[in-house]
């Protein structure tokens, strides 16, 4: 169906986004719908671009990163450059997330240690308080 077209409402519904989000992509020049009067008419290519942008967003890519990778696509070539760029972007993102995960794990360990010390100190105080004779 290469000549299939879509309305902004159809795309918004399909991808679970607002029409405002799709208009934002249009304002940024990422999609260029045809116009029939005031109505926007999106092509299959526009639909694929929106799908790829949203997929990139879902895996933590910036809009700029997504667009750079998408724009490397060339239907007449094997797209090695596009794939290598995507691998590089994903690998960098993955490394940053793993570092953040390690940092969070270290922080949680530190919090547990401090919490244990505080609870231990409170336990000793409770014993001292209960050892004081009541009048």
Could you list the pLDDT tens digit for every one of the 135 residues in the chain?
557 999 999 999 999 999 999 999 999 999 999 998 889 999 999 999 999 999 999 988 889 989 888 888 877 778 888 889 889 989 999 999 999 999 999 999 999 999 999 999 988 777 666 666 666
- Cα(7)–Cα(21) distance, integer angstroms: 14
**pLDDT value, residue 128:** 66
CA distances to 30, 38, 47, 56 from 33, in Å: 10, 11, 10, 21
pLDDT at 123: 86
The answer for residues whose C-beta is within 8 angstroms of residue 35's C-beta and 6 or more apart is 41
| Domain 1-60 of CATH type 1.10.1660.10 | yes
Beta sheet of 5-6, edge-to-edge order: 5-6, 39-43, 34-36
pLDDT at 50: 95
Query: Can you give the pLDDT at residue 118?
Result: 93
φ, ψ at 28 (rounded to 5°): -80, -5
In order of 43, 44, 86, 110, the CA distances from 124 in angstroms are 72, 70, 57, 21
Question: Rounded CA gap, 92 and 21, in Å?
Answer: 27
pLDDT for residue 12? 97
């Amino acid at each position: 169906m290469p000549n299939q077209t879509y309305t902004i409402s159809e795309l918004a519904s399909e991808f679970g986004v607002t029409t405002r989000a799709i208009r934002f992509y249009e304002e940024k020049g990422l999609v260029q719908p045809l116009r029939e009067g005031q109505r926007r008419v999106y092509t299959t290519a526009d639909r694929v671009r929106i799908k790829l942008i949203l997929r990139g967003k879902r895996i933590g890519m910036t809009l700029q990163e997504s667009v750079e990778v998408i724009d490397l696509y060339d239907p007449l070539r094997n797209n090695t450059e596009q794939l290598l760029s995507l691998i590089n972007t994903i690998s960098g993102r993955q490394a940053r997330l793993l570092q953040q995960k390690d940092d969070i794990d270290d922080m949680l360990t530190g919090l547990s240690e401090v919490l244990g010390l505080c609870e231990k100190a409170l336990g000793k105080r409770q014993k001292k308080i209960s050892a004081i004779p009541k009048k």
